[in-house]
Structure 1
């Protein structure tokens, strides 16, 4: 009887507050959206691939939609023009992040440059990242490290080609991305391409992306926070602790060597971060270094490797594009040569392939969700205070009003186009735009073409099991990032130099 009464009271309370809520919004024009069920709202519409589900709804309700996810107002943007209003013209109003409950694990929300509000602290962390990792001068100075890691990748693929072993493209690219970052920051490899040593780290990174990206009842019904019904907070704590423990060990080791005076001169990113910490121990202590590096390794490895994997998958499905890419590489470099970053500007078709890959397979399909602190107006509609704002760049990249034959992989569409990836052309914003644009964009713009181009130019490829191009699965798996559901495994044959 008590349970029945409790349920009745909950229903009555919901109806009461819903009435107050609707009364407070009288006269305000919300964006259109689907019918909302009691209590759960539109949660049932998300499914396993919410970027696809919400794109289909946008076809019905338009490029700006209002949905109710439990207690959470959600605004979904699915057109370049409205994305520009939110990310550029009203960037200040929409600059705050929506913080999923998963990010509260290990207090990461207090330190993460990705989720901190725009503030002097956030600006300082962005400046530290740019100055010590992603500035033009730093990227040029570390180019030899990236070249070395790409050479390691090609050596690994060559070894596999000699033994007839299939290469898991995503895992091989992940190991390269991981070692590229770890050499820049720590002056050491964190994984061996010929071993499975990167698998554990790759699984950790994907698990983090999946937990943050999956619908979590706590985010939609904050009253359930302490219960953690789906175990997301518990699992995220374990994932974060594993990576933070690894990073803490490397940082502590470096600090001990510096104190003892036995450290060889590295002048890598970690040395610079420690120097900044020693100069401003209150603003930038060891904990902040650990969480900053957590952001960099999680964001910088999975996104790069997934783009390379999707790019290779599209090339293996589109033989004419592969032939054209190889012809350009042969003409500019010669067959079998590994690319250098200086070669990228001489390879316009390769650049088009990368843009087309990012159009169809943006690494973060909703970017990182934003949250509006105060009520605002967009396109004549009222955006309620505290709404979560999702920019569906996956849908924007497939928008029929922006792209001819949007579902086709056709790099040639960019040959005579000025559209680039820098956040000014809102038809193509895989790295975001405005003040929250991804700080690692400059590194990815160098790394992805070099890795993808080197794999194309140094080897001929066929799918494992001699399956045809039409049989290659292109199903997606959704987290914060957009991965390939079934790993791309292919056989390589070295081309003559």
Structure 2
């Protein structure tokens, strides 16, 4: 929704204020060589040119008014839009330290544990410490190996559920539930998806993601904070933030009580909630807090922030990659057949898929890369902010400038990619470009200091489930639908899902 819609009831008053502000702007300002900019309106800047899908709006503005670098003004916030691999390299490699900070957004403080999440924490010692804790104890290759049993158990559950669906399957829901269950088990030690409790948990998180991706006028035009209050947005943010904090506080307290009970009963004090004696991420965080010998200090808020970070970063983004990958396969039946033949040839009649098997599925890796190229989970990444004045590609960028990297546009650059809007996995068969942050032509997870630390976790989960579903089922669109009938429109949000859920027909494959 265009932000000006919220201002229509008070338009006469606003026009008067705009006139006062516009004609009383200070005229003395040092001369700067700033990047190209589209025309802007007083006070609101370019906000009126931003639609529901940010990456599309920025792509259009960059094409018509900017180029690799473009400066726009979102209200009072100068924002540098990055739209080429070379420009992204300048930001995330050459000047990575200058752009290592995140914006201090009031709404983020309310929703994301006072900016103690790794993804939004200010650059500094706390951020380095928190990121190290998350990588070593949740996202390292060693930890991903220990989580294998959980992934395999949840894949088996997912396969059984699909078999019970009488062929018609809502894969969008399947992927959300699967990623939720895997991440909840490795993070909290249990699932929150069954029964009344599961429904309440899902509803709370759906609203959390919706609010987190919503429009916060106060962030762009501070004196319009009253509009957020009038439309009930502030109250909703406060309520959702309170619900999330209350949930996290409850699970931490429950684990502490269980641990104390185990200590008192001679149970060793493990307190693991993972079942089967597994130690989950929350167990590890509580041990770190308790053990002074580690030299690491984390308080209760930091524990809740890291738990929330693990959950939010590992569920919605992973589910949307699976959703778009499968949608593209169904839209391109010949590609689906090539991939399915590869999976079944590599397995050669085996029922269980190992990591070694997946390593041998070269085309599967190409399919996932191509899906990430066309459908990055967060198309504009999480914004950065300049910590000091700096020159980028000959342009002057002032301290405090917000930076938005449009990886959606970068991955469609015709100077880099042949037929950039076509789904062609084979382009990666003889191509060394990867998504791990070294090749700026493909950066769905970002790069540099603020790149996503959970790439291996996410892609291991994606490849494992995708290989199993292609191995065990044949797939087609319902009611004899054709690939051209498949709706590929995007749903606005923090992460970009399909607008229409992915409904498919699954037929168990006969291995005889």
**Which TM-score applies when normalising by structure 1?**
0.92
Give 3-state SS (helix, strand or coil) of 2:315's partner.
Answer: helix
Query: What is the root-mean-square deviation of aligned Cα atoms in Å?
Result: 2.3
Q: Which residue in the other structure is 2:24 paired with?
A: 16
- 1:76 equivalent to 2:81? Answer yes
Query: Does the C-alpha gap of structure 1 residues 113 and 232 become closer, same or farther in structure 2, counting only changes over 3 Å?
Result: farther
Q: Which residue in the other structure is 1:127 paired with?
A: 132
1:234-273, aligned counterparts within 5 Å? 234-261=235-262, 262=267, 263=271, 265-273=277-285
- 1:295 equivalent to 2:309? Answer yes
Deviations 1:256-305 (A, max 9, x none): 11112254644222211110111259931222211211121112100001
Give 3-state SS (helix, strand or coil) of 1:91's partner.
Answer: coil
- 1:211 equivalent to 2:206? Answer no
Give 3-state SS (helix, strand or coil) of 1:66's partner.
Answer: strand
Q: Which residue in the other structure is 1:144 paired with?
A: 149
Q: Which residue in the other structure is 1:329 paired with?
A: 343
Query: Does the C-alpha gap of structure 1 residues 335 and 397 become closer, same or farther in structure 2, counting only changes over 3 Å?
Result: farther
- 1:482 equivalent to 2:482? Answer no
Q: CA deviation at 1:100?
A: 3.2
Give 3-state SS (helix, strand or coil) of 2:51's partner.
Answer: coil
Native 8 Å contact 2:18 2:43 kept in 1: no
1:397-408, aligned counterparts within 5 Å? 397-408=411-422
Native 8 Å contact 2:113 2:304 kept in 1: no
Q: 2:80 & 2:461 partners in 1: Cα distance?
A: 34
Choose from 180, 183, 187 the match for 1:181: 183
Give 3-state SS (helix, strand or coil) of 2:164's partner.
Answer: helix
1:166-177, aligned counterparts within 5 Å? 166-177=168-179
Q: 2:207 & 2:485 partners in 1: Cα distance?
A: 28
Give 3-state SS (helix, strand or coil) of 1:366's partner.
Answer: coil
Q: CA deviation at 1:198?
A: 5.2
Choose from 58, 62, 65 the match for 1:58: 62
Q: Which residue in the other structure is 1:40 paired with?
A: 44
- 1:449 equivalent to 2:457? Answer no
Query: Does the C-alpha gap of structure 1 residues 491 and 359 become closer, same or farther in structure 2, counting only changes over 3 Å?
Result: same
Q: Which residue in the other structure is 1:223 paired with?
A: 223
Q: CA deviation at 1:367?
A: 0.6
Give 3-state SS (helix, strand or coil) of 2:79's partner.
Answer: strand
Native 8 Å contact 2:192 2:201 kept in 1: no
Q: Which residue in the other structure is 2:32 paired with?
A: 28
- 1:155 equivalent to 2:167? Answer no
Native 8 Å contact 1:77 1:83 kept in 2: yes
Native 8 Å contact 2:193 2:202 kept in 1: no
Q: CA deviation at 1:227?
A: 5.4
Give 3-state SS (helix, strand or coil) of 1:374's partner.
Answer: coil
Native 8 Å contact 2:210 2:493 kept in 1: yes
Q: CA deviation at 1:422?
A: 1.0
Q: 1:152 & 1:389 partners in 2: Cα distance?
A: 42
Deviates further, 82-91 or 55-64: 55-64
Q: 2:13 & 2:237 partners in 1: Cα distance?
A: 36
Q: CA deviation at 1:8?
A: 4.7
Q: Which residue in the other structure is 1:318 paired with?
A: 332
Native 8 Å contact 2:44 2:74 kept in 1: yes
Q: 2:14 & 2:251 partners in 1: Cα distance?
A: 53
5+ residue gaps, structure 2: 1-10
Q: Which residue in the other structure is 1:355 paired with?
A: 369
Give 3-state SS (helix, strand or coil) of 2:228's partner.
Answer: coil
Q: CA deviation at 1:247?
A: 2.6
Q: CA deviation at 1:233?
A: 3.3
1:429-468, aligned counterparts within 5 Å? 429-468=443-482
Deviations 1:468-495 (A, max 9, x none): 1101111111222111111111111000
Native 8 Å contact 1:94 1:372 kept in 2: yes
Native 8 Å contact 1:335 1:457 kept in 2: no
Q: 1:431 & 1:199 partners in 2: Cα distance?
A: 30
**Which TM-score applies when normalising by structure 2?**
0.89
Q: Which residue in the other structure is 2:4 paired with?
A: none
- 1:114 equivalent to 2:119? Answer yes
Q: CA deviation at 1:35?
A: 0.8
- 1:472 equivalent to 2:486? Answer yes
Give 3-state SS (helix, strand or coil) of 1:24's partner.
Answer: coil
Native 8 Å contact 1:74 1:388 kept in 2: yes
Q: CA deviation at 1:226?
A: 5.8
Q: 1:135 & 1:409 partners in 2: Cα distance?
A: 31
- 1:275 equivalent to 2:277? Answer no
5+ residue gaps, structure 1: none
Query: Does the C-alpha gap of structure 1 residues 224 and 323 become closer, same or farther in structure 2, counting only changes over 3 Å?
Result: same
Q: 1:426 & 1:444 partners in 2: Cα distance?
A: 19
Native 8 Å contact 2:436 2:447 kept in 1: yes
